[in-house]
């Protein structure tokens, strides 16, 4: 019974992952996430519900459209799997049913992180709608724990500090350093992380971005002119800060 219940939680998470695939594909191109029904990009055939069962359908269809053999990206089932695993792991961390609200908030935050991560990788864009949704979720979540002063300071410093750096960089070099989406993401994260940890996030993600970016240039995977999206670095650091604070403290001790 308990195994079955865990499987149900995993499957619910995988279904959310299936919806997240739609969000990741549609939001950056301005499409509604509700209508119309998903179609095969190859032959425009509507996708039936039984072809849309997370992970299972991909395996059953052997990664191809049932009509025209159009190849379905392996990323779709992998995101479904990731969301299923994340939902189950977060569920296993709560010890009583009174903590269900805590679990629901954490799942929402994790899902928005995953959506932002892949949209930024694909389009170098962090949509305002998702940043706003994240900010609202973090505000509701934080209001259980923190004072409004803490949240407001986090928001202002999270948004204001990188804005100031960008402005200075622009004055000195005549170039825009950071994207508006990155700055709005920090502002949203600041609500929960607070004024101190959001500044940590700014430094740590810049450091991580520089290390990864320079390594990719050294390995000739990208050229100097290719800008890599910055959102994923902010999100990786924020994931450690919010979901794995002990690991984050150990990593921080190595750097600072």
Contact residues for Zn ion, defined by CB under 5 A: 40, 42-43, 65, 67-68, 70
Of 31 and 68, CB closest to Zn ion: 68
Which CB atom, from 44 or from 175, has the smaller least distance to Zn ion? Answer: 44
Contacts of 147 (CB under 8 A, 6+ apart): none
Q: Which is nearer to Zn ion, 65 or 199 (CB)?
A: 65
Record the tokens describing residue 4, joined without a space: 């079955």
Orientation of helix 75-92 relative to helix 2-26, angle to 10°: 130
Please say which residue, 70 or 102, places its beta carbon nearer to Zn ion: 70
Return the residue matching tokens 């994931």.
Answer: 239
Phi, psi of 64 (to 5 degrees): -135, 155
Question: Residue 40 or 130: which CB sits closer to Zn ion?
Answer: 40
Alpha helices in 47-147 (DSSP H): 56-60, 75-92, 100-123, 128-142
In whole angstroms, the minimum distance from the beta carbon of 63 to Zn ion comes to: 12
Q: Output the smallest distance, CB 17 to Zn ion, in A.
A: 22
At 37, give phi and psi (nearest 5°): -65, 155
Closest CA to 94 of 17, 166, 155, 9: 9
């Amino acid at each position: 019974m308990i195994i079955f219940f865990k499987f149900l939680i995993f499957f619910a998470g995988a279904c959310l992952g299936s919806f997240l695939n739609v969000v990741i594909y549609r939001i950056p191109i301005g499409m509604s996430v509700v209508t119309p029904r998903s179609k095969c990009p190859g032959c425009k055939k509507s996708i039936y519900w039984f072809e849309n069962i997370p992970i299972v359908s991909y395996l059953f269809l052997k990664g191809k459209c049932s009509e025209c053999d159009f190849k379905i990206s392996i990323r779709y089932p992998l995101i479904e799997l990731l969301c299923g695993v994340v939902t189950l792991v977060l569920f296993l961390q709560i010890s009583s049913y009174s903590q269900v609200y805590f679990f629901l908030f954490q799942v929402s935050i994790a899902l928005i992180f995953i959506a932002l991560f892949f949209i930024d990788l694909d389009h170098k864009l962090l949509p305002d709608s998702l940043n706003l949704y994240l900010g609202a979720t973090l505000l509701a979540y934080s209001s259980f724990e923190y004072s409004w002063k803490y949240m407001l300071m986090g928001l202002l410093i999270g948004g204001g500090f990188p804005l100031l750096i960008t402005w200075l960089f622009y004055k000195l070099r005549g170039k825009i350093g950071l994207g508006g989406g990155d700055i709005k993401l920090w502002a949203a994260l600041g609500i929960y992380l607070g004024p101190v940890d959001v500044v940590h996030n700014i430094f740590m993600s810049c450091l991580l971005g520089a290390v990864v970016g320079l390594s990719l240039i050294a390995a000739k995977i990208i050229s100097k002119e290719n800008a890599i999206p910055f959102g994923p670095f902010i999100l990786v650091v924020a994931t450690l800060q919010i979901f794995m604070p002990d690991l984050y403290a150990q990593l921080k001790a190595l750097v600072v």
